[in-house]
Amino acid sequence: SYVLTQPPSVSVAPGQAARITCGGDNIGSKSVHWYQQRPGQAPVLVVYDDGARPSGIPERFSGSNSGNTATLTINRVEAGDEADYFCQVGDYSTEQVFGGGTKLTVL
Amino acid sequence: QVTLKESGPVLVKPTQTLTLTCTFSGFSLSSGMRVSWIRQPPGKALEWLARIDWDDDKFYSTSLKTRLTISKDTSKNQVVLSMTNMDPVDTATFYCARTSNFHYYFDVWGRGTLVTVSS
């Protein structure tokens, strides 16, 4: 089955940009979605279809996808962005697959 | 407002069958809509389990498909998941989540329900 690989952790100082990667074989040919999960809460969709933002998600959140790597970028990181982030791919007939998750720490 | 809520037992014994219900509001399981079940063991990653589409098509995780059954009751706005032969390693928070408009991302999630498997 398809495997998505994320770094276990990313650390960033407030005000800086955080980049969280999601690796997969030719992932650039797929639509990638990203979720934020704060402790004790359900995941929340923050980016869909590689780089689109749902209503209510700040413009600081953006995404890109090419080759074997998709990237979630959070600009001007705030303390409230500290959370786990998961990437996901899937389509009609295939399994929906999640990455292993990345813990974002705001220093 | 679109909401989903999971319900079911908080504790099941090994070898028992787990049955969970997802009750939703604010939308109907009509054309283009899908509901999935996803689980998350404590401190671990999300794992997709199963999906049911508006037209009653059903899809399962390859690794768990022999243990899973998903069904829907459109009149009650409910989706039900059964998982047989539960084991302590199946202890997890179970979420139901919606995908809409023929897409494949989960735009609305329930709050989740923690199920512990223990004798």
Q: Which of B60, B105, B109 to mutate to test the interface with A (most CBs of A within 10 A)?
A: B105
* Res A18 pLDDT > 90: yes
Distance CA(A101)–CA(A89), nearest Å, equals 13
Strands A9-12 and A102-106: parallel
Q: Tens digits of per-residue pLDDT, A29-56? A: 999 999 999 999 999 999 999 999 999 9
**A66-93 residue pLDDT tens:** 999 999 999 999 999 999 999 999 877 7
| A57 has a chain B CB within 8 A of its CB | no
Q: Do B109 and A42 touch (CB under 8 A)?
A: yes
Nearest to B37 by CA among B90, B117, B106, B116: B106
Q: Which residues of chain B have pLDDT under 50?
A: none
Residues of A in contact with B5 (CB under 8 A): none
